[in-house]
Amino acid sequence: DKYVYDFAEGNRDLKDLLGGKGANLAEMTNLGLPVPPGFTITTEACKAYLATGREPDGLAGQIEAHLEALEREMGRRLGDPDDPLLVSVRSGARFSMPGMMETVLNVGLNDHSVVGLSSQAGGNDRFAWDSYRRLIQMFGKTVCEVPGEEFAHALDEAKRAKGSTDDLDLDADDLRGLVEAYKKIFAGHTGREFPQEPREQLDLAIRAVFESWNAERAILYRRQERIPADLGTAVNVVTMVFGNLGPDSGTGVAFTRDPGSGAQGIYGDYLANAQGEDVVAGIRNTVPLQELEQLDPKSYHQLLDIMARLEGHYQDLCDIEFTIERGKLWMLQTRVGKRTAAAAFVIAGQLVDEGLIDLDEALHRVNGAQLAQLMFPRFQLDHDFVPVARGIGASPGAASGTVVFTSARAVELAAEGRSVILVRRETNPDDLNGMIAAQGILTSRGGKTSHAAVVARGMGKTCVSGADEIEVNVPAKRFTVGGHTVGEGDVISIDGTTGRVYLGEVPVMPSEVVQYFEGSLDPAHVDNALVRAVHRIMTHADDRRRLAVRTNADTGADAARARRFGAEGIGLCRTEHMFLGDRRELVERLILAATDTDRTDALAALLPLQRQDFVEIFREMDGLPVTVRLIDPPLHEFLPPLEQLAVNVAVAQERGEDVAKEEALLAAVRRMHEENPMLGLRGVRLGLVIPGLFAMQVRAIAEAAVAVTRDGGAARPEIMVPLVGAVQELETVRAEAEKIIAEVVGDSGVEVLIGTMIEVPRAALTAGQIAEAAQFFSFGTNDLTQMAWGFSRDDVEGAFFWRYLELGIFGISPFESIDRDGVGRLIRIAAEEGRAARPGLKLGICGEHGGDPDSVHFFHEVGLDYVSCSPFRVPVARLEAGRAAI
Ligand code: ADP
Ligand code: MG
Ligand code: MG
């Protein structure tokens, strides 16, 4: 097997094998860009190592051969005492996992080659010893698990001895001393001397990179980002180039457009006289990339040329890492860059304008999760809120919460349901848990490319980074800013778009994208790149999609909003909400009815109220279909809870009051108690045992439709019977309903469809029979999921879902995204057999899944006619339905 590829042998399509970093280094090499020579060890080698605990046969020999070729090309031998070749050993998986795995720089340095390195650099001892101490530090931490703080501590100690806080003030002798201190720390923790043999360093570093695939933080990150656990990482061995050779050297990171807003123009950070990891770690403050034009105009312009070439080549925003070694530019990494949701839309629109991609491709490059983010509320600042600090808007959104200073505390408070803002000087991969738990992240150091910024953008979390007016004191659990002291437990608000930080809780307002959907921002007239781009891409999605999008709405107001958001009807109007509030008393009367007349009276009193609800909804949805579900939940849900009632009765009795009514109610509640209400007397079963209940609802619907139509409107009601498991249930309800409808509708021209939910597995499995009696099916995927799995949504989330997610039994909760293999199979069967029995049978879905991007793609594949989701999800479903169709 071939386990090692020279950079010249790979290309960007080999990401599975070479990882993203390796594939793109190869691509740049083949574009003729200045990439330091090197080779990539494949993910296959990593997988083999992780499976067996040892390097696969043949790997060592192949590494040897590629190393020799590299040495020949560079005219230097790895770790040669007089003129050493040094390499970096870098992780790089299929999907970018920023900072999650390991990299070791300067491999090949030892007590002898450090001298050779110095003469290579023209007698630069300081540089050589600085490189050596970095190797021991990185190697110790990564390969041998020596606690990083110990090295950091020794470095601080050396700076203190020098009376400085800047590592640039340490001279060659100080650094030589530091190397000695580091070696002692290394030996103290590992029980062995720091390995002097270059090839041993290389092999151990490669092995450590393999193993870093299973580091705890990498596992956590993969779970969060839904990256499969079995991909493995590639390992890149790259000739070292040095940004720490003096003021004419340096290192930086850049984006070809602003990854925050999508605005055109270069965007990046540069740090002179430093090695790559210094920039990301925020050790020293970087300068904006534009300043490189003064420092080194030749490299600067070469860099701009390369960035333009990369954009043209990848036809997308790229991010890059580069190093300048004494005026010579080297490219160390590129990839299609992460970006905020807003930038994703704006850039997709720009690239269409620039003729680089077409509208289908633009639609492909954005997604519903991003659109959902753009619909988050914004701070409403027309109040007296003055920012206390301003940092970099690193990841957009508006977040308020309680200040915490440690990842652990963030997790604790979030578990109590509190909204927290994690405040740190800078974050590192160990903060990942806290970042996941927090509502927002605030750091006092680091730019748009810092760890906090990159990870927060990836998670869609609000983040302000580099707010340097803030003095963070983690041990004392407080920060100070402009004379204010903010401690753990105080509330602050951060704006990840503007980078502003406020004390207290700032009220929020709808985002611009929501204002656009609401119709209050006209894309033809606003000077807002984001709104224009969203409009353009949404329009294209609507052109492309085959699935219709309806909404779940129970009130006229919800219906109206959803319609503005693009809903093409109502897929689920629940009627039980119409039994609450002051109507509860009528429902009680219905339940307690001792005689037919009592019951008929109660129903007669409910009828006009229900009718009025439907009139409002039909008016708002004029001309569009409205699916009304007959009452579904068990009736005791409308009665007071048993304990409360028992207490009331006892108290009233004590006072000598008349408790006949309460006692009757109490008896009814006892009688109706169910051990397992989810599987009890509900849905169609209610209709079959309580005479007149469904009839009243059907009458209310039909009368409302006739009333609206007589007023010149067009009502298109679809009556949906819940929880059907057998065709006979539906036939019984339907026979009664049709009689009422015929009587009410007369010659008004109103047409009322009757169909059923498919939410009991038996219904899915007998869909061919049920379709004979149903004019449409609507998949109730919430219940269908509960019943297919045999667990109740309300009970399982906290009880064991975490464990199932941990074990990988689910990749994601089946209530969030449709379980294709199980529940999805039931849907397929029902769709196929239903349509075979009744060609043209209308099929829709009305569970929460209707607004979930992955599920929408599944429903498209299965051939449903529409999805229905909550009003706010309607635009997301429109976008994803369009994406599913291209
Ligand atoms: P990550 O994936 O965490 O960014 P990298 O493998 O890219 O890790 O490396 C960490 C840092 O070291 C980056 O800033 C990178 O540019 C720098 N670096 C890696 N290899 C070399 C090299 N051969 N010469 C100089 N700098 C390097
Ligand atoms: Mg990198
Ligand atoms: Mg249901």
Q: Does residue 103's CB lie within 6 angstroms of at least one atom of ligand 1?
A: yes
Query: Are 276 and 105 spatial neighbours (Cβ–Cβ below 8 Å)?
Result: yes
**The pLDDT of residue 644:** 83
Q: Above pLDDT 70, what percent of the chain? A: 99
CA distance 139 to 133: 10
Confidence of residue 452 (pLDDT cuts 50, 70, 90): confident
Interaxial angle between packed helices 556-564 and 596-620, expressed in degrees from 0 to 180 and rounded to the nearest 10: 20
CA-nearest residue for atom 9, ligand 1, is: 103
Look at 30-44, 274-288, 649-663 and tell me which has the smallest mean pLDDT. Answer: 274-288
Torsion 810-823-858-553 (CA) sign = negative
230-255 per-position pLDDT tens digit: 999 999 999 999 998 889 999 999 99
Mutation pick for ligand 1 pocket among 29, 209, 277, 280 (CB with most ligand atoms within 8 Å): 277
Looking at residues 117-138, what average pLDDT do you find? 94
Which atom of ligand 1 sits closest to the CA of residue 92? Answer: 2
Which atom of ligand 1 sits closest to the CA of residue 278? Answer: 14
Quickly tell me which residue has 């160390």 as its tokens: 332
Q: What is the 3-state secondary structure (H, E, C) of 70-128?
A: HHHHHCCEECCCCCEECEEEEEEECCCCCCCCCEEEEECCCCCHHHHHHHHCCCCHHHH
For ligand 2, the distance from its centroid to the CA atom of residue 104, given in whole angstroms, is 12
Nearest of 643, 556, 541 to residue 882 by alpha carbon? 541
Could you write out the DSSP letters of every residue in 527-584?
A: --HHHHHHHHHHHHHHHH--SEEEEE-SSHHHHHHHHHTT--SEEEEESGGGGSGGGH
CA distance 200 to 109: 12
Question: What ipTM is given for this predicted complex?
Answer: 0.95
Domains of the chain: 46-55+64-239 (1.20.80.30), 250-336 (3.30.470.20), 376-509 (3.50.30.10), 545-634+688-885 (3.20.20.60)
For ligand 1, the distance from its centroid to the CA atom of residue 453, given in whole angstroms, is 18
Which ligand has an atom closest to residue 275 CA? Answer: 1
Query: Tokens for 860?
Result: 């498209």
271-309 per-position pLDDT tens digit: 998 887 777 665 677 899 999 999 999 999 999 999 999
Looking at residues 329-338, what average pLDDT do you find? 95
Provide the pairing of β-strand 87-93 with 103-107: antiparallel
CA distance 183 to 178: 8
User: Which contiguous run of DSSP H or E holds residue 481?
Assistant: strand 478-481
Q: Does residue 99's CB lie within 6 angstroms of at least one atom of ligand 1?
A: yes
Q: Does residue 413's CB lie within 6 angstroms of at least one atom of ligand 1?
A: no
Query: Tokens for 342?
Result: 């807003």
**The pLDDT of residue 96:** 85
**The pLDDT of residue 501:** 96
Q: Does residue 283's CB lie within 6 angstroms of at least one atom of ligand 1?
A: no
CA-nearest residue for atom 26, ligand 1, is: 276
Which ligand has an atom closest to residue 758 CA? Answer: 3
Three-class SS of residue 590? helix
**The pLDDT of residue 656:** 86
List, by residue number, the catalytic residues. Answer: 451, 846
Q: Does residue 321's CB lie within 6 angstroms of at least one atom of ligand 1?
A: yes
For 491, phi and psi rounded to 5 degrees? -100, 135
Confidence of residue 324 (pLDDT cuts 50, 70, 90): very high
For ligand 3, the distance from its centroid to the CA atom of residue 814, given in whole angstroms, is 15
Q: Does residue 440's CB lie within 6 angstroms of at least one atom of ligand 1?
A: no
Query: Are 96 and 181 spatial neighbours (Cβ–Cβ below 8 Å)?
Result: no
Q: What pTM, to 2 d.p., does this model score? A: 0.83
Query: Are 506 and 398 spatial neighbours (Cβ–Cβ below 8 Å)?
Result: yes
**The pLDDT of residue 576:** 84
Furthest CA-CA distance within the chain: 106
For ligand 1, the distance from its centroid to the CA atom of residue 276, given in whole angstroms, is 6
C-beta neighbour count of 813 within 10 angstroms: 15
Instruction: Please tell me what DSSP assigns to residue 880.
Output: H
**The pLDDT of residue 397:** 87
In angstroms, what is the C-alpha Rg of the chain?
A: 33
Q: Does residue 96's CB lie within 6 angstroms of at least one atom of ligand 1?
A: no
Query: Are 4 and 61 spatial neighbours (Cβ–Cβ below 8 Å)?
Result: no
Mutation pick for ligand 1 pocket among 97, 105, 142 (CB with most ligand atoms within 8 Å): 105
635-646 per-position pLDDT tens digit: 888 888 888 888
Strand partners, 550: 868
**The pLDDT of residue 864:** 98
Highest mean pLDDT among 427-436, 647-656, 718-727: 718-727
Nearest of 809, 756, 761 to residue 786 by alpha carbon? 761
Which atom of ligand 1 sits closest to the CA of residue 96? Answer: 2
Instruction: Please tell me what DSSP assigns to residue 431.
Output: G
CA distance 616 to 29: 65
Q: Does residue 449's CB lie within 6 angstroms of at least one atom of ligand 1?
A: no
Residues whose beta carbons lie less than 5 angstroms from ion ligand 2: 333
170-197 per-position pLDDT tens digit: 999 999 999 999 999 999 999 999 999 9
CA-nearest residue for atom 14, ligand 1, is: 276
